[in-house]
Amino acid sequence: MQKKLILDSDLLDLTISRLCQQLIENHNDFNDTVIMGMQPRGIFVAEIIHEKLKKETKKDIPLGYLDSTFYRDDFRRRQIPAKANETRVPFIIEGKKVVLVDDVLFTGRTIRAAMDAMIAFGRPATVELLVLIDRRRNRELPISADYVGKAVNTLASQRVLVELEAQGHKQNKIWLVNKD
Amino acid sequence: MSKLSQKHLLGIKDITKEDIELIFDTADNFKEVINRPIKKVPSLRDVTIANVFFENSTRTRLSFELAQKRLSADVINFSASNSSVKKGETLLDTVNNILAMKVDMIVMRHASPGAPHFLAKHIKANIVNAGDGTHEHPTQALLDAFSIRERLGGVGGKKVAIIGDILHSRVALSNIFALQKLGARIMVCGPPTLLPKFIGQLGVEVEFDVKKALLWCDVANVLRIQLERQQIKYFPSLREYSLYYGITKKMLDGLKKPIVIMHPGPINRGVELSSDAADSQHSIILDQVENGVAIRMAVLYLLAGNK
């Protein structure tokens, strides 16, 4: 198994700072903005961003978790069904500017499912997508991210491995892994 | 990533502790779903489910139907009372005819113990047992254990008394299997004529005095007296049963300890449970009904993913 480092800890910090600055630029005072981390791994990225924005803007932007398992279009098509995770939306979504946060954007199918899942809670004013890693050229749906940490060219057979301290890893590291 | 070890849910006896925990974890998520403004998810939109009921039911059938609709499945309902079963069609023929219309799952209630097990040997579709005679009622046991877990924070180590007509109860048997797998201690309590002779061999304690049983337990699951299954007299009169085995609020308050009262419904108010006990703060009977939908959604969802 070959592993190539895409982002190390220092670079990841810089990247997240930049993403936060971009959010501040576009959302001004964050009055109507909510952050929605996607289960299972996007929530860790969402928490980091939420924390960072809190320091920068002195505002506690509402943070929710969204699980899209029940909205997937590949249920009954894959061997083993995905395990569902907690959805926690402790705010009204109606009329809000939602920033969806995930770790990796790949085929775009999870994001499609997530948008379905989100609309079950109400009609947001706008929806934006923030991802740490954008795997270009592997999209199966017309979906693109508004905020991208790093775009990488990958093969469909490769895998992006995100290791975050919040998930119990020693250091923040993101790898590109060749399967076999 | 996770799946059930079985393709069907025929009885609690056939599934593992891990299966039960997976069903509970999934039901937690569905419980959140059914409390949303839009209580529906599209997971089973390509699945057709037939509810085949050879025996009467309101709660279980409504609960299954609602669970199926919340999962966006297509549902057809069948009840034996107005069907060709009356004309002499066999069980296998009836079900095969339904399956020929491209149905993916069968939820079946039947008066004969083992009927769903027989079907499982002969047909391809997933089968959920919604009660087979006096044998098992797995989804009821799952929702009972799930409700205990919700109220008391866990099932392991808890003391559960099952009180009433154990002999004719499929709920009792499924409950014993489910709660034992999850590590609870179980006592059955009722008049000797309504306790199966060898029930002690299942590893449960047996008690004939309902007051002692209430003192011992954390949870009392009170069962209905099933007059429709009783061909002979098992006790002199309902009034006498109620006098010796009926549970009242006064008895519960007199225990001076927290206790949880459950009942699978339908309640015979004033027989096994008095009205004030059924509506007291000890009772989680309506929570059981709510959890029933979430548990059945979890079971159907997990089985559908297990082709």
Is A91 an interface residue toward B (CB < 8 Å)? no
**CA-to-CA distance for B23 and B14, rounded, in angstroms?**
14
Structure tokens at B185: 């201690």
Q: In this structure, are strands B219-222 and B260-262 parallel, antiparallel, or unpaired?
A: parallel
Which is nearest to B51 in space by CA: B140, B117, B142, B125? B125
Q: Look at A76 and B28 and tell me if their CB atoms are within 8 Å.
A: no
Is A77 an interface residue toward B (CB < 8 Å)? no
Amino acid at B10: L
**pLDDT, average across residues B41-56:** 92
Q: With contacts defined as CB-CB under 8 Å, which chain B residues touch A116? A: 42
Q: Taking the domain B138-285, which CATH number applies?
A: 3.40.50.1370
* Cβ–Cβ < 8 Å for A131, A102: yes
Alpha carbon A180 to its chain's center:
27
Shortest distance, CA A57 to any CA of chain B (angstroms): 31
pLDDT at B1 over 60: no
User: In this structure, which long-range contacts are made by residues A49-56, counting pairs with CB atoms below 8 Å and at least 24 apart in sequence?
Assistant: A49/A16, A49/A19, A49/A20, A49/A23, A49/A101, A49/A130, A52/A16, A52/A17, A52/A20, A53/A20, A53/A23, A53/A24, A56/A20, A56/A24
Shortest distance, CA B33 to any CA of chain A (angstroms): 9
**pLDDT, average across residues B136-147:** 97
First and final C-alpha spacing in chain B = 15
- Which residue of B5, B21, B29, B46 to mutate against A (max A Cβ within 10 Å)? B29
Question: Closest partner residue to A81 among B3, B32, B40, by Cβ?
Answer: B3
Nearest CA in chain A to B42: A71
Q: Torsion angle of alpha carbons B85, B90, B92, B96, nearest 10°?
A: -50
Q: In this structure, are strands B219-222 and B159-163 parallel, antiparallel, or unpaired?
A: parallel
Q: With contacts defined as CB-CB under 8 Å, which chain A residues touch B307? A: 76
A4 φ/ψ angles, rounded to the nearest 5 degrees: -125, 130
Beta bridge partners of A162: A174
Indicate the pTM of the whole model. 0.90
Which is nearest to A140 in space by CA: A160, A120, A113? A113
Amino acid at A44: F
What are the residue ranges spanned by the domains of chain B? 12-136+289-304, 138-285
**Least-confidence region, from A54-58, A85-89, B146-150, B227-231:** B227-231
Is A65 an interface residue toward B (CB < 8 Å)? no
DSSP string, B23-53: HHHHHHHHHHHTTSSS----TTTT-EEEEEE
pLDDT at B25: 94
Is A80 an interface residue toward B (CB < 8 Å)? yes
**What is the percent of chain A where pLDDT is above 70?**
99
**pLDDT, average across residues B93-98:** 90
Q: So what CATH class is A9-71+84-153?
A: alpha beta
Residue in the structure block whose two tokens are 């779903």: B33
Q: Which residues are within 8 A (CB) of B172 and not within 5 positions of it... i.e. 6 or more apart?
A: B162, B166, B188, B223
Q: Look at B29 and A76 and tell me if their CB atoms are within 8 Å.
A: no
> Which tens digits make up the pLDDT trace of A7-35?
999 999 999 999 999 999 999 888 999 99
Nearest CA in chain B to A68: B41
pLDDT at B235: 87
| Pairs of CB atoms within 8 A across A/B | 60
**Least-confidence region, from A157-161, B28-32, B49-53, B284-288:** A157-161
Q: Which residues are within 8 A (CB) of A123 and not within 5 positions of it... i.e. 6 or more apart?
A: A93, A94, A95
Q: Look at B43 and A75 and tell me if their CB atoms are within 8 Å.
A: yes
Nearest CA in chain A to B46: A76
pLDDT at B205 over 70: yes
Superfamily of domain B12-136+289-304 in CATH is Aspartate/ornithine carbamoyltransferase (3.40.50.1370)
Shortest distance, CA A61 to any CA of chain B (angstroms): 22
> Which tens digits make up the pLDDT trace of B68-87?
999 999 999 988 776 767 77
H-run or E-run covering A153: strand A147-153
Structure tokens at A37: 């981390």
Nearest CA in chain A to B37: A121
Q: With contacts defined as CB-CB under 8 Å, which chain A residues touch B28? A: 86
Q: Is the peptide bond before B258 cis (omega within 30 degrees of 0)?
A: no
Ranges of H-type helices in chain B: 17-33, 59-70, 91-99, 115-122, 138-152, 170-181, 210-216, 238-245, 249-254, 275-278, 285-304
Alpha carbon A33 to its chain's center:
16
pLDDT at A173 over 70: yes
DSSP string, B178-190: HHHHTT-EEEEES
Would B12-136+289-304 and B138-285 be classified into the same CATH topology?
yes
Widest CA span in chain B = 58
Positive or negative torsion for Cα B162, B167, B171, B177: positive
DSSP class of residue B218 equals S
Q: In this structure, are strands A126-136 and A63-66 parallel, antiparallel, or unpaired?
A: unpaired
* Interface of chain B toward chain A, CB-CB under 8 angstroms: 1-3, 25-26, 28-29, 32-33, 36-38, 40-44, 46-47, 71, 301-302, 304-307
DSSP class of residue A77 equals T
**CA-to-CA distance for B43 and B73, rounded, in angstroms?**
8
Q: Look at B305 and A116 and tell me if their CB atoms are within 8 Å.
A: no
User: In this structure, which long-range contacts are made by residues A144-150, counting pairs with CB atoms below 8 Å and at least 24 apart in sequence?
Assistant: A145/A105, A147/A19, A147/A22, A147/A23, A147/A99, A148/A105, A149/A7, A149/A12, A149/A15, A149/A16, A149/A19, A150/A6, A150/A7, A150/A15
pLDDT band for position A180 (50/70/90)? low
**pLDDT, average across residues B2-7:** 89
